[in-house]
Amino acid sequence: MPSPAYRGRLAPSPTGYLHLGHARTFWTAQQRARAAGGTLVLRNEDLDRSRCRPEYVTAMIEDLRWFGFDWQEGPDCGGPHAPYDQSARLDLYRAAFEKLRAAGLVYPCTCSRRDIAESAGAPHESGNGGGDEPLYSGRCRPEHIDAAERATRATWPRADHSWRFRVPDGHRIQFSDTALGPQAAVAGETFGDFVVWRREDLPSYQLAVTVDDAAMGISEVVRGADLLVSTFRQLLLYEALDLPPPAFHHCPLMLDDRGHRLAKRHDSLSLRTLRATGRSPESIRAEWR
Ligand SMILES: [Zn+2]
């Protein structure tokens, strides 16, 4: 059986300037696509209206080109799976959400951020779709979502609630990471019911990337290890939406000299600043070897 051609992706969010941590993970993605003779897709993950800015999209493309990235499909060059801006793909996410709702797999959740943090009983790091959100208490989870309710609950998401995916408690999810080897998690223990549609009337990170990676025919997702727990959530969505999952390759996170994760606030490590101070991409990459 012929294996499908390799398709990888770079999927930055234009919420700030790209830094070295992004560049390193993206470089691995590009190297894997090149080694396989495959295609690299650039996807602009611009769903967060309050944080994404058009000038960061321009900067993102400039900085990636400067560093030596070369993609074959993307918002700037088009391709067979256009559009490559998530903000222009809302219909696809809505259709996927409707499928989950019709299957009785989601329920409305009125909990505020504070409710969730308090019920978890412990401080937590808030992440961008990461694996670090507190386990949801189940406060809004119905006993069951019956057929009549599914049929009548045709109201489109309103501003007063989000929608959560009901995870199959106790279900063990496994996959073999192409970097980290065999991985396993238990739904309801490693992570709980998670948001698929936000109260801002937008898909969650989990839903949008699952829909896009499937629709764009991505064969391997290369990303940071901070998203490892999210991969289990997304594997449940692939199953629920009857979509074939890609392979996953989670890269170790780059730390700063104090052992903290690199973030967009580390201006001195932004590609933009490094370029302005005369660093060359070649010299930066030489340090990674
Ligand atoms: Zn709730």
Spatial distance between the Cα atoms of 143 and 146, rounded to a whole number of angstroms? 9
Least confident of 80-94, 135-149, 191-205: 135-149
User: What is the 224 CA–ligand 1 centroid distance (Å)?
Assistant: 29
Query: At 1, which amino acid appears?
Result: M
In the 8-state DSSP scheme, what is residue 16? S
**Contact yes or no for 138/192 (Cβ under 8 A):** yes
User: What is the 112 CA–ligand 1 centroid distance (Å)?
Assistant: 7
pLDDT of residue 122: 46
Over residues 45-73, mean pLDDT: 95
CA atoms within 13 A on the CB side of 92: 19
Q: Strand 194-198 and strand 172-177: pairing?
A: unpaired
Per-residue pLDDT band for 123 (boundaries 50, 70, 90) equals very low
User: What is the 140 CA–ligand 1 centroid distance (Å)?
Assistant: 4
Q: Which of 64, 50, 72, 58 minimizes the C-alpha distance to 19?
A: 64
Least confident of 13-22, 23-32, 76-85, 168-177: 13-22
User: What is the 166 CA–ligand 1 centroid distance (Å)?
Assistant: 11
User: What is the 142 CA–ligand 1 centroid distance (Å)?
Assistant: 10
Least confident of 136-140, 186-190, 244-248: 136-140
Max intra-chain CA distance, the chain:
64
User: What is the 145 CA–ligand 1 centroid distance (Å)?
Assistant: 15
What is the chain's percent helix, strand, coil content, to nearest 5? 35, 20, 45
Percent of the chain with pLDDT over 70: 87
User: What is the 139 CA–ligand 1 centroid distance (Å)?
Assistant: 5
Over residues 126-147, mean pLDDT: 69
| pLDDT tens sequence across 253-284 | 877 777 777 665 666 689 999 999 999 999 99
More confident residue, 65 or 146: 65
pLDDT of residue 128: 36
Percent of the chain with pLDDT over 90: 72
